[in-house]
Amino acid sequence: MEKKFPGITINYVDKGWADVLRENLMLATMGGNSPDVGVGEDFIPEFARIGALTELPQEMAKDLAEGPISAAWHDGKLYAVASMTGVLGLVYNKDVLHKAGLTENDIPKTWDEWLDVSRKITEAGKGEFYGTVVQNNQLGGTFRIIPFIRQLGGDYTTPDWSKVTFNTPEVLKALTFLRELSKTAPPGSTSLNDEGALYVMVNTGKVCFYVNGPWFIAWSKSQTPAGNIGYAPLPLPEGGKRANVIIGNTLWYVLKQSKNQEAAIEFVRILASREYQEKMSVATSRLPANIEAAKNPELLQKVPEMAVYAEIVANEPASPLPVYPKNGPKIWETWYKVQDVVLISDNPIEKALEEAQKTAEELLK
Amino acid sequence: MSMKTNKKGLPLHVKKHEGVNPLFIKQRFLRFYRRHRDGVVAYSLLAPVLIYFAIFSVFPVLFVIYLSFTEWNGLMGFPQWIGLRNFRAFFTDLDYVMTLVRAGIYGFIILFLNMIIGFLTALLLNMKIKGSSVIRTIWYLPVIVPFSVVAQMASIILNPVDGVIKNIMLLFTDKPIVFQQSAYWMSFWLIVISVWKGVGHTVIIYLAGLQNIDMSLYEAAQVDGASGFRIFKNITLPCLRPITMFVLITGTINSFLIFEPVQLITQGGPHGATNTILFRIFQDAFKNFDMGMAGASSVVVLIITLILSINQYRVSQRSIV
């Protein structure tokens, strides 16, 4: 990079993640002040549609895994490359498990077992520790709900993302299960807006189970004291099949407003390369999207916990969150209300799904 | 040496076809200036403010009105004219209508409590007691605390897992209330925080009004043997009427336009049940990038505040007479 573009410096500015990042990027672009290169996860097709992103050469995606890169396409054109990626697994605090008189043999493999173990832990904790914390807050919650719907064969949309499928038996069953599970969580925790607070609960032994991605490994180890944490695949419903979601997927793109197009494209090319991703994944304990980099034996030696996530990637079909063809943010806002109804109220889930379906269909017209 | 000129005051050597002559313009300007001296001075002095007002107030308002009839994400292409579709969507979507109703209810309660508590507190603070200036300063402190700080305080106090109030409740019950699960409780806290933050301002205004009441009125009433209640009813209250009108006029629109506590404390939750019109506009404009809907909602707010302003102006004129 330095040889090709002498004197170029890269200034990294943190502008948040998920909804916050999307808003900041949109505002910067509206103001004609967007960065040369950006990172994000769930809004690439939306930004490509409004003409804010530069199309990238398709050969840049050839070594990247299909799941992580699938959210980088729009209208058959490539607009981003995937760097670090992730799927969801069951994170558990071993100390809590032991305090409740359980062992790692009791790690649940099915929904029923999970509910049962979680109830036992909450009962044993007597207000000191709890079974499972279920994340609700907005997009973070949406990501953590979808694997359970997909395990039953459902989704938020039809496979072509053209129609909303909120009001289906699969969604209802998954949400009913999560509501039951959330009753074993610390009271009020589903009302927290701060995802970090949930990490702390698991790490410090206030909660046993939580659904999270591989980035939690490095985060937990960096805490003082580090949590005694274990990792497992997500439990399955009766008759369900393994399924997951692409999450924590860092997609890098070039903004059309950038005055350094060539250098910016070269930079994202480097981010997609095997050499960069091998080094980066080992340094940050993250899962690389580059297929060759993911085979790097050094990664599993240094971060043995990653083996669980590598197994999930190998055995669970995973795709990103759907992108709605129209009014995406408003449709998600409608869905967030469903999450609230399920996880912080006793109102009927069926009615909430019915209303959300109706509103979303209107928004898609 | 004087220059020879024609009847119109033009120098003789200047011919009409020679175009605009600087000398001619200067003379025309001087004549205009002499004739409209006061106006020229006045508009010159006003010009910076008028230009500022046109750019930062008039143009944005007109642009928002235009946007309300269009569909635009603020970035790609130009706004597309869609007529009244945004307004139809506003009035047929219960969520939007409810944000308006909620803002009205919150606004009314906040204003009412602000005036009552502000007035009663001002009466107490008007008493000559030791350290009264310190107490007055303490009452005013919340007004100068930024709302982001207030929001941080609220999140520590109301945190559903280990908040201050939750820990206090745990001393008395095993099942403390989770405020964030209830629209009523979160509305309650929005109102409490808004009143706490704003009442100091009302207190200061009432206090100023109380201290402006002519003491001779009280002395005369005492000489006539009037009771404390009669003095309060027949002197204090009537003398504070202009102050009450001022608080009502400035407070009505401010209370209706409640935004910061909703954005920073409840974010409209749970499930949108504490969302108000201004936060809805913010969400449409800067989260959903739907400038048309944000514009239509803004126009609705503009009309309501305009009606309120005209009404208040009339009331204030009447009270002055």
Residue-level pLDDT at B9: 60
Q: Which has the closest alpha carbon to B30: B40, B21, B18?
A: B40
In chain B, residues 275-314 whose CB comes closer than 8 Å to chain A: 283, 286-290
A38 DSSP β-pair partners: A253
Does the structure's ipTM exceed the value 0.90? no
Cβ within 8 Å, pair B272-A337: yes
Cβ within 8 Å, pair B290-A327: yes
Give the amino acid at B70: T
CATH number of A89-162+170-245: 3.40.190.10
DSSP codes, A11-80: ------SHHHHHHHHHHHHHTT---SEEEESS-HHHHHHTT-B--B-GGGGTTB-HHHHGGGEETTEE--
Give the N- to C-terminal CA distance of chain A in Å, as an integer.
Answer: 46
Chain A residues whose beta carbon lies within 8 Å of the beta carbon of residue B287: 19, 23, 329, 333
Delimiting residues of CATH 3.40.190.10 domain(s) in chain A? 18-85+249-313, 89-162+170-245
Nearest by CB: B181 against A27, A51, A191: A191
Nearest by CB: A341 against B161, B267, B271: B271
Min distance B142 CA to chain A CA atoms (Å): 25
Chain B residues whose beta carbon lies within 8 Å of the beta carbon of residue A326: none
Q: Where are the beta strands (DSSP E) in chain B?
A: 70-71, 80-81
Helix A328-344 and helix A169-182, axial crossing angle in degrees, nearest 10 = 50
The C-alpha atoms of residue A47 and residue A342 are separated, in whole angstroms, by 31
Distance of CA A96 to the CA centre of its chain: 25
Hunting for tokens 């002095």 — which residue is that? B45
The C-alpha atoms of residue B30 and residue B15 are separated, in whole angstroms, by 21
Per-residue pLDDT band for B321 (boundaries 50, 70, 90) equals: very low
DSSP codes, A305-360: THHHHHHHHHHS-EE-----SS-HHHHHHHHHHHHHHHHH--S-HHHHHHHHHHHH
Q: Does B104 touch chain A (CB under 8 A)?
A: no
Q: Are A300 and A310 in contact (CB under 8 A)?
A: yes
SS3 (DSSP) at A89: strand
DSSP state of A253: E
A151 phi and psi angles, rounded to 5 deg: -60, -25
Instruction: Return the number of CB contacts < 8 Å for A and B.
Output: 70
From the number of C-beta atoms within 10 Å of its C-beta (0-12, 13-18, 19+), residue B185 rates as middle
Cβ within 8 Å, pair B287-A341: no
Nearest CA in chain B to A332: B288
Cβ within 8 Å, pair A192-B160: yes
Q: Which has the closest alpha carbon to B258: B108, B143, B154, B112?
A: B108
SS3 (DSSP) at B75: coil
Cβ within 8 Å, pair B180-A188: yes
Residue-level pLDDT at B13: 58
Q: Which residues contact A307 (CB under 8 A, 6 or more apart)?
A: A300
Q: Tell me how far CA of residue B309 lies from CA of B54, B108, B301, in angstroms.
A: 21, 15, 12
pLDDT at residue B14 is higher than 80: no
Nearest by CB: B181 against A23, A51, A344: A344
The C-alpha atoms of residue A170 and residue A155 are separated, in whole angstroms, by 8
Helices (H), B1-80: 22-35, 37-53, 59-67
Distance of CA A219 to the CA centre of its chain: 15
Nearest CA in chain A to B179: A188
Cβ within 8 Å, pair A26-B267: no
Cβ within 8 Å, pair B178-A188: yes
Chain A residues whose beta carbon lies within 8 Å of the beta carbon of residue B270: 191, 340, 344-345
A251 DSSP β-pair partners: A40, A82
Give the N- to C-terminal CA distance of chain B in Å, as an integer.
Answer: 63
Hunting for tokens 């469903």 — which residue is that? A338
- For residue range B240-295, list pLDDT tens digits in order: 988 898 888 888 888 889 999 999 998 888 888 899 999 999 999 988 889 999 99
Min distance A329 CA to chain B CA atoms (Å): 5
Cβ within 8 Å, pair A330-B288: yes
Min distance A341 CA to chain B CA atoms (Å): 7
Cβ within 8 Å, pair A187-B175: yes
Q: Beta A130-132 vs A207-212: how paired, if at all?
A: parallel
Q: Beta A81-82 vs A251-254: how paired, if at all?
A: antiparallel
- For residue range B150-199, list pLDDT tens digits in order: 999 998 999 888 899 999 998 998 888 889 888 999 999 999 999 999 99
Nearest CA in chain B to A127: B174
Chain B residues whose beta carbon lies within 8 Å of the beta carbon of residue A195: none
Which two three-digit tokens encode residue A363? 């928004």
Q: List chain B domain ranges.
A: 16-53, 85-320
Residue-level pLDDT at B4: 62
SS3 (DSSP) at A7: coil
Q: Which has the closest alpha carbon to A19: A339, A360, A332, A320?
A: A332
Q: Beta A244-245 vs A130-132: how paired, if at all?
A: unpaired
Cβ within 8 Å, pair A191-B272: no
Taking 50 as the pLDDT cut, the residues of chain A under it are: none
What fold, for A18-85+249-313?
D-Maltodextrin-Binding Protein; domain 2 (3.40.190)
The C-alpha atoms of residue A292 and residue A273 are separated, in whole angstroms, by 9
Interface test with A, best of B98, B161, B262 (most A CBs within 10 A): B161
Cβ within 8 Å, pair B287-A193: no
The C-alpha atoms of residue A342 and residue A182 are separated, in whole angstroms, by 9
Q: Tell me how far CA of residue A359 lies from CA of A313, A333, B3, B279, in angstroms.
A: 34, 10, 82, 20
The C-alpha atoms of residue A114 and residue A112 are separated, in whole angstroms, by 5
3.55.50.30, 1.20.1440.230, 3.40.640.10, 1.10.3720.10: which CATH number matches B85-320?
Answer: 1.10.3720.10
Chain A residues whose beta carbon lies within 8 Å of the beta carbon of residue B288: 327, 329-330, 333
Residue-level pLDDT at B2: 54
Give the amino acid at B279: F
- At CA A211, angle to CA A207 and CA A215, rounded to 5? 105
Instruction: Count the neighbouring beta carbons within 10 Å of the beta carbon of residue B305.
Output: 14
Which two three-digit tokens encode residue B294? 């944000």
The C-alpha atoms of residue A283 and residue A146 are separated, in whole angstroms, by 29
Helix B291-320 and helix B59-67, axial crossing angle in degrees, nearest 10 = 130
Q: Hey, what long-range contacts does A54-60 have (CB within 8 A, 24 or more apart)?
A: A54/A79, A54/A253, A54/A254, A54/A255, A54/A256, A54/A258, A54/A261, A54/A264, A54/A265, A55/A79, A56/A80, A56/A81, A56/A253, A56/A254, A56/A265, A56/A268, A57/A265, A60/A268, A60/A269, A60/A272
The C-alpha atoms of residue B64 and residue B299 are separated, in whole angstroms, by 7
Chain B residues whose beta carbon lies within 8 Å of the beta carbon of residue A23: 286-287
Q: Are A185 and A133 in contact (CB under 8 A)?
A: yes
The C-alpha atoms of residue B154 and residue A288 are separated, in whole angstroms, by 40
Which helix (DSSP H) or strand (DSSP E) does residue A82 occupy?
strand A81-82
Cβ within 8 Å, pair B271-A193: no
